Amino acid sequence: MLYSVSPKQWAGVGLAVCLGALAAALYLQIVLNWFPCPLCIVQRYAYLVAAIGFLGLLLVGPRSWLAKGLMGAVVLAVLGGLGTAAYHVWVLSNPMQTCGVDPLQTRLNELPWVAYWPDMFVADGLCTAEYPPLLGLSLPMWSGIGFVLLGLVLYLARRNARRLRRSW
Domains of the chain: 2-163 (1.20.1550.10)
* Three-state DSSP state, 127: coil
pLDDT digits over 85-126, tens only? Answer: 999 888 888 877 655 556 677 677 777 777 777 777 777 767
Quick check: 72 pLDDT over 60?
A: yes
pLDDT band for position 166 (50/70/90)? Answer: very low
The stretch 151-164 carries a mean pLDDT of: 78
For 7-14, what is the mean pLDDT? 86
pLDDT at position 167 is 45
| Vertex 112: Cα angle to 128 and 98 (nearest 5) | 15
| 66 vs 45: CA distance, rounded Å | 21
Beta bridge partners of 137: 134
* DSSP at 164: T
pLDDT band at 144 (very low <50, low <70, confident <90, very high): very high
The CA distance from 167 to 29, in Å, is 40
| CA–CA gap between residue 128 and residue 90 (Å, rounded) | 10
Q: What is the structure's pLDDT at 102?
A: 66
pLDDT at 165: 53
Among candidates 154, 10, 164, which has minimal Cα distance to 73? 154
> How many Cβ atoms sit within 10 Å of the Cβ of residue 136?
6
Output DSSP code: residue 133: -
Q: For residue 112, what pLDDT is reported? A: 75
Q: Is the four-CA dihedral 50, 15, 153, 65 of positive or negative sign? A: negative
For residue 4, the model assigns a pLDDT of: 67
One-letter identity of residue 14: G
- Examine the pLDDT at 68 and tell me if it is beyond 80: yes
Residue 49: the pLDDT is 94
Instruction: Give 15-62 pLDDT, tens digit per residue.
Output: 999 999 999 998 988 898 888 888 888 899 999 999 999 999 888 876
Give the model's pLDDT for residue 11.
87
134, β-bridge pairs: 137
If we measure between CA atoms, which residue out of 53, 45, 48, 52 comes closest to residue 107? Answer: 45
Mean pLDDT on 80-89: 93
The answer to whether 78 and 154 have CB atoms below 8 angstroms apart is yes
Nearest to 42 by CA among 73, 82, 102, 6: 82
